[in-house]
Structure 1
Amino acid sequence: MRVFKFGGASVKDANGVRNLVKVLEETGHQNTFLVVSAMGKMTNAMEVVVKAYFDEQTSLKGALEEVRLYHQTILQELFENKEHSVYKKVNLLFEEVSGFLAWNKSPNYSFVYDQVVGYGELLSTTIVSTYLNEAGIKNHWIDIRDFIKTDDNYRDGRVNWEKTQQLIAEGVEENKLYITQGFLGSDDNNFTTTLGREGSDYTAAILAYCLNANSVTIWKDVPGVLNADPRYFKETKLLNKISYREAIELAFYGASVIHPKTLQPLQRKEIPLHVKSFINPRDAGTTVGKGIGIEPEIPCFIVKKNQVLMKLSSLDFSFIVEDSISDLFKLLHDYKMKVDLIQNSAISFSVCVDNKFNRLNDLLDQLSGRFKVVCHEDVSLYTIRHFNTEAIKSLQNGKDVLLEQRGKETLQLVVKH
């Protein structure tokens, strides 16, 4: 069995859905499992709904209506018959969201987030599955929440592999075309959980692992894995082959093409991962698999924006030793800070973090009683794998470098704009 994952950009409008049909016609679709993300930027739009629910109830109806109109436009372009059953299915999904928001009593933001935001995937797969059937590509729509079981760590659910493996083994038959949602799972109480942003790649890897799949293909709007993000860097080049280890390194440092958690289950069973263009599906793209390094071996540039750099020093000039560092990491964990870089000396400790849960001010309150804290917000963390002198010069040019860290193959710079 093969697993294909189509991201939001591939199904952002009616033409995208039609193109998905062409990709399947060119590649074949027997014994294939399709994982489909929310359409376009609908995850962001659903996040706006959640924010309105908590912060600005007056704008809630309008935020949800915007999501409804977006999908309605795509429906009208794909299904001219307004009596088609798909309209009813989509309306029912919106009624479910509205109903949840009306009766929910939980003040837990992350819980509400998972119950609401996941409808982006449920809507997209309902529309795509129905259109595939209309186009003569018979498929089986399934609710991934019935198969991927996680704990109740909302917004970042941890997979219960044993239970998930059992459910997939019992519920999935060979020689069929399945379509399901990325990003989602459910806990023991059958409440929806999500696997973290960009978690649809991870969904594909979980399915591939449990199905002993032949391969996973991630279909993107780029030719494959590039040595840099073309939104931020000029003159990018395609990487033809990457080893699992190199891909995990790139993902760890923030390369956006492959989700960091995606690679580990694939590596364990040596399942190759292809990253290909849904615009030119016959092109080779990039293959991630067993092997050495990258081909071609050229510098790879990664940037993480909107980071926070904290420089901590002891108030009495005493050494920052193991127990201090242990306390610091516990605080970073407690306030859900993702650590991207650390550097320490005898009396100082620098850490670059991603404040994705907006807990920075609470953390700073805790730290300021024990340390002298200098905090730089909205900095960028640049990483160069396989750096050379020319690559370093191109990155440092005209930038205010706050921190530099260099290893044998990796250079990292924290830069203030």
Structure 2
Amino acid sequence: MIVSKFGGTSVGSYEAMSRSANIIVDNPKRSWVVISATSGTTNDLLRLCSLPINSDEGNGLLEQISRRHLDIASQCSFKKEAIKAVEECMHNLSAHLSKQQSSKDHSETQWVDTLLAFGEILSTQLFAWVLREKNLDVQLKWAGNFICTDSVFGLAAVNLKVTYAKLQHFLTANEGFGSDLKPGNVLLTQGFIGADVQGRTTTLGRGGSDYSAALFAEALEAECLEIWTDVAGVYTTDPRVVSTAHAIDEISFDEAAELSIFGGKVLHPAMVKPVRRANIPVRVASSMEPELPGTNIVTNPLNRPVVRTLSVRKEQTLMTLHSLEMLHQPGFLAKVFSILSEHSISVDLVTTSEVSVSLTLDTAHKASNKVELSEAVLRALNDFCDVEVEYNLALVAVIGNALNQTLGISGQLFSTLKDYNIRLISHGASANNVCFLVDESDAEAVVQTLHQSFIG
């Protein structure tokens, strides 16, 4: 069995859905399909969350969402059925919006998760009919029947034991599903969403569809996980920044994990862990050009260059703390981390001297990378140290292999970047990355310089 996940651009129009459906038809092993919301829909739903019901802007967004999906439905061979499915979903969406105004029986975050799930509900309803056009026998299943989470709405944690038990129960109850599945049979479900033990809809965070697909692949013991997107694999860097950037044939799970954490938008950070744990290869490919090889993510790639790829994470925040209390005194960092934890701020990179510590702040799960430190946080820190905060920085990650063991690599990197002001460097903690913090205005030039020197 192959688990195939299609992103928002791969299902963003009737033409895109038809191309993606043809990919499934081409290989009968693609029997478990995971779908994101159509491109732009989740953002529209997020905007709806903050708008008054029946406002002009809110009604306009509802009309935009409806029109986007009805346009797809109207081109489907099963036009009548597809249009009916969209209209029913939009009716339920409107009813849910009204519920927030009249009910106090739920939290706002719970209400938002249920609202956001309509994006995936709409896309899977439509994609099911497009698959049926191709004479496929489609089972459309609600992801919450499989993905069991806690009740932390907005960024729910998956209960792996319960989730995998539910999936194994499904396989047992549907004997023959999997490697012996009859050609033409497809199970279709949503990414991004799950349900808690009370059956309430939860979400796994932005980009969580990749994570959903990886969990399905591990639990179902898939032979491969495919991530279908709008780019032809994982690139050496963003081709919009470096014209000579190219797709990589093969990378390791370790490299993929680093790339996903440090800003590689093709991969979701949580996706790598389940497939690496189960040693399931991943293929990242373009649904627009499925004939291209894409990038394979495997345990042991044939080629392991010292520098494989470069990634950038903009809108970074650097906080520097100065205090003589640090000198030979235990517990200083513990006190700092405790305060940040109380305000739900997690730390990314850390460098220290005898009387100061610099921290970059982890924003991997936020809609924007920029962290605004509240007055309460700054007051708590200022009680025992001087605090300096800098914004508008960028983290440039050099990702590769044996970077902490390669003789002279630090000197080569610093020599290459001699014309730029390096605000912070992180080297040695990982064999797979070296990170530089630079002014955001220098980020693209830094990447171009590094790519030319180390990749070509």
1:70 pairs with 2:91: no
- SS of residue in 1 equivalent to 2:51: helix
1:412 pairs with 2:410: no
1:139 pairs with 2:152: no
Aligned equivalent of 1:124: 123
1:205 pairs with 2:218: no
Aligned equivalent of 1:16: 16
Aligned equivalent of 1:159: 158
1:61 to 59, 62, 66: 59
- SS of residue in 2 equivalent to 1:227: coil
1:368 pairs with 2:382: yes
Aligned equivalent of 1:25: 25
- How do 1:258-297 and structure 2 match up within 5 A? 258-291=267-300, 294-295=303-304
- Is contact 2:239-2:246 (8 Å) kept? no
Aligned equivalent of 1:323: 331
Distance 2:415 2:142 in 1: 50
CA 1:290–1:404 in 2, change beyond 3 Å: closer, same or farther?
closer
Counterpart residue type for residue 222 of structure 1: V
- SS of residue in 1 equivalent to 2:69: helix
- How do 1:6-405 and structure 2 match up within 5 A? 6-26=6-26, 28-30=27-29, 32-52=31-51, 59-78=57-76, 81=79, 84-104=80-100, 105=104, 108-172=107-171, 173=174, 174=177, 175=181, 176-291=185-300, 294-295=303-304, 298-314=307-323, 318-319=326-327, 322-355=330-363, 356=366, 360-361=373-374, 362-386=376-400, 396=417, 400-405=421-426
Offset of 1:61 from its aligned partner?
2.7
Distance 1:78 1:193 in 2: 30
- SS of residue in 1 equivalent to 2:151: coil
Aligned equivalent of 1:3: 3
- SS of residue in 2 equivalent to 1:303: strand
CA 1:321–1:160 in 2, change beyond 3 Å: closer, same or farther?
farther
Distance 2:269 2:20 in 1: 25
Offset of 1:410 from its aligned partner?
2.9
Offset of 1:381 from its aligned partner?
1.0
What is the root-mean-square deviation of aligned Cα atoms in Å? Answer: 2.7
Distance 2:52 2:92 in 1: 15
- Between stretches 119-128 and 61-70, larger displacement belongs to 61-70
Offset of 1:206 from its aligned partner?
0.5
- Is contact 1:30-1:177 (8 Å) kept? no
- Is contact 2:250-2:297 (8 Å) kept? yes
Distance 2:36 2:330 in 1: 43
Distance 2:77 2:9 in 1: 21
Distance 1:253 1:14 in 2: 33
Offset of 1:209 from its aligned partner?
1.0
Structure 2: unaligned runs, 5 residues or longer: 404-408, 442-456
- Is contact 2:399-2:434 (8 Å) kept? yes
The TM-score normalised by the length of structure 1 is 0.89
Distance 1:151 1:5 in 2: 24
CA 1:111–1:363 in 2, change beyond 3 Å: closer, same or farther?
farther
Offset of 1:370 from its aligned partner?
3.3
CA 1:103–1:133 in 2, change beyond 3 Å: closer, same or farther?
same
Residue deviations 1:361-395 (CA, integer Å, cap 9, x gap): 2533433333311112232111112476777677x
Structure 1: unaligned runs, 5 residues or longer: none
Residue deviations 1:154-188 (CA, integer Å, cap 9, x gap): 12111111111121112243113111111111111
CA 1:333–1:96 in 2, change beyond 3 Å: closer, same or farther?
farther
Aligned equivalent of 2:444: none
Offset of 1:10 from its aligned partner?
0.9
Residue deviations 1:95-126 (CA, integer Å, cap 9, x gap): 22222222233685533331111211111111
Counterpart residue type for residue 118 of structure 1: A
Distance 1:284 1:132 in 2: 24
Distance 1:75 1:335 in 2: 45
Provide the aligned length of Structure 1 versus Structure 2.
411
Distance 2:95 2:119 in 1: 16
Offset of 1:290 from its aligned partner?
1.9
Counterpart residue type for residue 197 of structure 2: D
Distance 1:145 1:44 in 2: 22
Distance 1:114 1:320 in 2: 47
CA 1:247–1:75 in 2, change beyond 3 Å: closer, same or farther?
same
- Between stretches 28-37 and 157-166, larger displacement belongs to 28-37
Distance 2:262 2:302 in 1: 16
Counterpart residue type for residue 4 of structure 1: S
Identity of aligned residues (%): 27
Residue deviations 1:260-289 (CA, integer Å, cap 9, x gap): 111211122211111122122233222112
Counterpart residue type for residue 382 of structure 1: V
The TM-score normalised by the length of structure 2 is 0.82
Offset of 1:205 from its aligned partner?
0.8
CA 1:301–1:29 in 2, change beyond 3 Å: closer, same or farther?
same
Aligned equivalent of 2:446: none
Distance 2:338 2:28 in 1: 48
